[in-house]
């Protein structure tokens, strides 16, 4: 079943003659448990697409259905709830709170969780559990400045996972990392995928895109082509078994 | 997100920027402290006035001649209060404990080599100490009999006794007042300045001595001795009104005037306190305005810093929005921060204000009273200022576009 359903979606900035169609009639469907890469030159509309998929922005035209819920007409407050419960962001520059420990950073999304009534102890236990799952059991009380780039990105991944979202949105997750840390992060992404997570990842790097099942190429606000990723075909079978 | 989380976040932010937070709070600190100190000073002044007035005995009714009504014309015709009015009140009015008459004069007083010019002489009657609530420290006060017989005796205020006789005992000594020799029979205890009158620097003598020797009047023989004031002590506050009524009717009949054109006026201590308070109330509201303005200035300081904070923390706001903070969450976070900032400023301001009031009272002649309601008022105002001036920056933060905010460096 499709977790993301995008129908005739356009995003137009400005009005009249100076208006720009950043996205122009995009149709896209992403299945639950899929690992998808989005590629394209700058100005192709991939950031705009990611913003809309991440519920940070609303489409001008068309529909966006996330996990069977129409979100294109939602208010800012409703979108905030969707982001909190359904979407886990992983940014190129980590975007952690620098004055808070890894544990506090991972607990942050749970502060805004309105539907699950968890006590502070439960929240902390959940954050510890996720931090352990990304291999940071001995770094929980460290602040981001005391961690390496790879470790900071692991904290960010743990934060993205903590509310158990429907999709993970990764924007150039290895862009700020050296190649070895980058590989480790990609391995972690694979593990998540194998664990059944739906992951949408923006990247410039074709070799990174090769890790995924499908790559969506954007150009001038339209989907230019979609290719099947090569190396992960086997993983998909593993994933479908585990789901 | 619950309130305790917002407060924790606010506290982390405030304590993470101690110097800036302190400077921001300074306006509120000064505002709150000045509210408390200003109210403390005016309340102290009022309390001092009230104490002075009630310090002159309690449950008193003051009957004074009324120049504005009777006027000098009435005075020439022989109007105004006379000595006999006092005994008439004592004999005819119910609820009266004692009546005293006072007649002042100013004379030169000599004792041995010491000569003092312009000493206040207070002619009075035997009940003066009990009605005026002053006690004899040494010797005795004069009796009714001595008043009736115009005995040339004197009781000295404590500082006057000191000036005239130094350490020597004044009892039995002679003082010369305007060539009249008076024998000192007593000295009052120290009383201090009461309602602007220094009771310690006065000389007290039977009122009959003052009539005969110091303020003789050619009308006295057929109209009675004119007096400045008759002071009536009544049994208690509950009979005050009926006593005043009786006195007014009695005196109007005796003076053959209507109440509307009375040549005397009857006031109570409460009336005097109210008159005095009317003066201090104007003073107090002026002070309150000044203090209020400084609170507003403090609030503008908070708004200014909160706007800077919101701009500085745009990226943080973006991250919070991305992980699920709704506009309300962001608004509450920054509003809480502004309110915590101003309440912390308010709390420090209360300490400074209370300490400042006490210090001010200790170091200056003015009396200060720390009024509990002023603390509550100042603290509440600080909270209101925080909410009012914190709302705009907080609202601005809540309206930030998440994409723009995340892109902010």
Q: Does A109 touch chain B (CB under 8 A)?
A: yes
Give the rounded distance of the alpha carbon of A97 from its chain centre. 18
Cα–Cα distance between A159 and B323 in angstroms, integer? Answer: 9
Task: Give the tokens for residue A95.
Answer: 């975007």
Average pLDDT, chain B: 86
Chain B CB contacts of A95 under 8 Å are 315, 318-319, 322, 406
Chain A CB contacts of B320 under 8 Å are 108, 112
Measured in residues, chain B has a length of 409
Q: Which of A57, A84, A91 sits opposite B403 (nearest CB)?
A: A57
Cα–Cα distance between B365 and B1 in angstroms, integer? Answer: 53
Q: Do A77 and B321 touch (CB under 8 A)?
A: no
Q: Does A13 touch chain B (CB under 8 A)?
A: no
A194-239 confidence digits (pLDDT tens): 999 999 999 988 888 888 999 999 999 999 999 986 444 433 344 4
Chains A, B: CB pairs < 8 Å: 58
Cα–Cα distance between B138 and A230 in angstroms, integer? Answer: 117
Instruction: Please give the DSSP secondary-structure letter assigned to residue B226.
Output: B
Per-residue pLDDT, B223:
64
Q: Do A112 and B1 touch (CB under 8 A)?
A: yes
- Per DSSP, the three-state class of B127 is coil
Q: Do A111 and B322 touch (CB under 8 A)?
A: no
User: Does the pLDDT at position B260 exceed 90?
Assistant: no
Q: Do B1 and A89 touch (CB under 8 A)?
A: no
Q: Which of A51, A81, A96 sits opposite B324 (nearest CB)?
A: A81
Quote ipTM for the complex.
0.91
Cα–Cα distance between B90 and B125 in angstroms, integer? Answer: 13
Q: Which of A54, A57, A77 sits opposite B327 (nearest CB)?
A: A77
Identify the band that residue A240 occupies on the pLDDT scale cut at 50, 70 and 90. very low
User: Does the pLDDT at position B72 exceed 90?
Assistant: no
Q: Which DSSP helix (H) or strand (E) runs through A226?
A: strand A222-228
List the one residue out of A187, A165, A164 whose CA is nearest residue A173. A187
Q: Could you give the strand order of the β-sheet that contains A35-39, starting from the edge strand earlier in sequence?
A: A87-90, A167-171, A198-202, A35-39, A214-219, A222-228
Instruction: Please give the DSSP secondary-structure letter assigned to residue A145.
Output: G
Q: For an interface test with B, which of A112, A113, A114, A202 has the most B Cβ atoms less than 10 Å from its Cβ?
A: A112
What residue has token string 């600080």?
Answer: B382
In sequence order, the 6+-apart residues with CB closer than 8 A to the CB of B159 are B190, B198, B200, B201
CA distance A93 to chain B (A): 10
Chain A CB contacts of B323 under 8 Å are 83-84, 89, 108-109, 112, 159
Q: Do B1 and A111 touch (CB under 8 A)?
A: yes
B77-102 confidence digits (pLDDT tens): 545 788 888 888 888 888 888 898 88
B314-344 confidence digits (pLDDT tens): 999 999 999 999 999 999 999 999 999 999 9
Question: Domains (ranges, CATH) in chain A?
Answer: 32-60+75-242 (3.40.50.300)
Chain A CB contacts of B403 under 8 Å are 51, 56-57
Chain A CB contacts of B316 under 8 Å are 97
Do B266 and B244 contact (CB within 8 A), yes or no? Answer: yes
Residue A85: phi and psi, rounded to 5, are -95, -30
Cα–Cα distance between B263 and B80 in angstroms, integer? Answer: 6
- Average of per-residue pLDDT across B191-209: 83
User: Does the pLDDT at position B193 exceed 90?
Assistant: no
């Amino acid at each position: 079943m499709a977790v993301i359903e995008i129908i005739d979606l356009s995003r137009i900035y400005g009005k009249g003659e100076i208006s720009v169609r950043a996205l122009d009639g995009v149709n896209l469907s992403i299945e639950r448990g899929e690992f998808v890469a989005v590629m394209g030159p700058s100005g192709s509309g991939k950031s705009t697409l990611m913003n809309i998929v991440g519920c940070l922005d609303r489409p001008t035209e068309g529909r966006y259905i996330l996990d069977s819920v129409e979100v294109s007409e939602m208010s800012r407050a409703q979108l905030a709830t969707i982001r909190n419960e359904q979407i886990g962001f992983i940014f190129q520059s980590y975007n952690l709170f620098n004055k808070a420990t890894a544990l506090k950073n991972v607990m942050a999304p749970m502060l805004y969780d309105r539907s699950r009534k968890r006590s502070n102890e439960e929240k902390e236990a959940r954050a510890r559990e996720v931090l352990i799952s990304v291999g940071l059991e001995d770094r929980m009380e460290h602040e981001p400045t005391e961690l390496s780039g790879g470790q900071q990105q692991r904290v960010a991944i743990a934060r993205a996972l903590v509310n158990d979202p429907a999709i993970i949105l990764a924007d150039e997750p290895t862009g700020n990392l050296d190649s070895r840390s980058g590989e480790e992060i990609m391995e972690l992404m694979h593990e998540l995928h194998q664990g059944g997570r739906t992951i949408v990842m923006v990247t410039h790097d074709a070799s990174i895109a090769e890790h995924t099942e499908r790559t969506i190429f954007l150009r001038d606000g339209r989907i230019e082509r979609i290719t099947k990723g090569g190396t992960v075909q086997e993983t998909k079978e593993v994933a479908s078994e585990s789901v | 997100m619950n309130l305790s989380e917002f407060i924790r976040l606010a506290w982390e932010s405030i304590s993470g920027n101690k110097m800036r937070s302190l400077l921001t709070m300074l306006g509120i600190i000064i505002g709150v402290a000045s509210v408390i100190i200003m109210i403390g000073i005016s309340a102290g002044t009022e309390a001092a006035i009230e104490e002075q007035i009630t310090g002159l005995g309690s449950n008193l009714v003051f009957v004074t001649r009324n120049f504005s009504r009777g006027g000098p014309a009435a005075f020439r015709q022989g109007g105004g209060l006379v000595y006999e009015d006092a005994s008439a009140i004592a004999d005819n009015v119910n609820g009266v404990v004692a009546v005293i008459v006072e007649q002042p004069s100013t004379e030169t007083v000599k004792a041995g080599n010491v000569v003092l010019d312009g000493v206040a002489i207070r002619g009075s009657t035997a009940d003066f100490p009990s009605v005026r609530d002053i006690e004899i420290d040494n010797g005795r006060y004069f009796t009714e009999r001595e008043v009736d017989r115009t005995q040339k005796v004197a009781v000295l205020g404590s500082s006057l006794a000191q000036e005239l006789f130094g350490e020597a005992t004044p009892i039995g000594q002679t003082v010369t007042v305007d060539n009249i020799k008076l024998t000192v029979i007593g000295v009052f205890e120290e009383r201090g300045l009461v309602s602007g009158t220094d009771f310690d620097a006065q000389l007290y003598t039977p009122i009959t001595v003052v009539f005969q020797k110091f303020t003789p009047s050619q009308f006295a023989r057929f109209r009675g001795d004119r007096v400045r004031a008759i002071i009536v002590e009544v049994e208690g506050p509950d009979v005050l009104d009926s006593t005043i009524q009786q006195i007014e009717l009695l005196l109007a009949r005796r003076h053959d005037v209507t109440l509307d054109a009375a040549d005397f006026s009857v006031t109570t201590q409460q009336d005097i306190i109210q008159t005095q308070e009317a003066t201090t109330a104007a003073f107090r509201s002026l002070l309150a305005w000044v203090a209020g303005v400084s609170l507003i200035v403090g609030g503008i300081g908070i708004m200014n810093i909160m706007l800077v904070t919101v701009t500085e923390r745009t990226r943080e706001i973006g991250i919070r929005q991305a992980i699920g903070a709704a506009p309300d969450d962001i608004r509450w976070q920054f509003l809480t921060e502004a309110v915590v900032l101003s309440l912390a400023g308010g709390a420090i301001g209360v300490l400074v204000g209370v300490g400042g009031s006490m210090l001010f009272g200790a170091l200056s002649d003015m009396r200060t009273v720390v009024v509990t309601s002023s603390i509550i008022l100042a603290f509440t105002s600080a909270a209101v200022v925080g909410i009012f001036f914190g709302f705009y920056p907080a609202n601005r933060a809540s309206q930030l576009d998440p994409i723009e905010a995340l892109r902010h460096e």
